Amino acid sequence: MANFLSITREPLDVAAITNSIFHEDCGAVSLFVGTTRNSFDGKMVHSLEYEAYESMALKELEKICDSVRSNWKDVVNIAIYHRLGLVAPKEASVVIAISSPHREDALKAVSYSIEHLKKSVPIWKKELYSDGDSSWKENKECQWVK
């Protein structure tokens, strides 16, 4: 059982991240890939810019892994990678991959992980629009925004 966690400015290699969590005891790998879309509320998005409190973000990712393992005992490997800096449309900003012997645990654990990442991990994004304007975005799930 292993956790593979990263907060990085490098492009995310979805295939490599997924391959890192395969295990011979597992018949299921569930994957979530969050990407930048090219528009929001009628405005063309040039890119997203992500910033983080990196040491705190990694601690929160560890807590998510601990919680996943206590809720789904059969989960074997967990990978959670998040990108920082500029992320263009169609590029991955977050990848979560989880392996388990059966699909139900892997699917539920991935869903739980992305929801809790958005709630508790100190990562912020700013949308940069094609017209030169920009806007910081808040996650509706975020626990410190009320």
pLDDT digits (tens, 9 = 90+) for 47-62: 999 999 999 999 999 9
pLDDT digits (tens, 9 = 90+) for 92-146: 999 999 999 999 999 999 999 999 999 999 999 999 999 999 999 876 665 655 4
At 130, list the tokens: 């094609």
The DSSP bridge pattern shows strands 77-83 and 2-8 to be parallel
79, 96 Cβ separation under 8 angstroms: yes
Q: How far is CA 44 from the centre of its chain?
A: 23
End-to-end CA distance of the chain: give it in Å, rounded: 36
DSSP for 53-102, written as a single string: -HHHHHHHHHHHHHHHHHH-TT--EEEEEEE-EEE-BTSEEEEEEEEESS
68, 112 Cβ separation under 8 angstroms: yes
Q: What is the pTM of this model?
A: 0.93
Q: Which CATH architecture is the domain 2-137 placed in?
A: Alpha-Beta Complex (3.90)
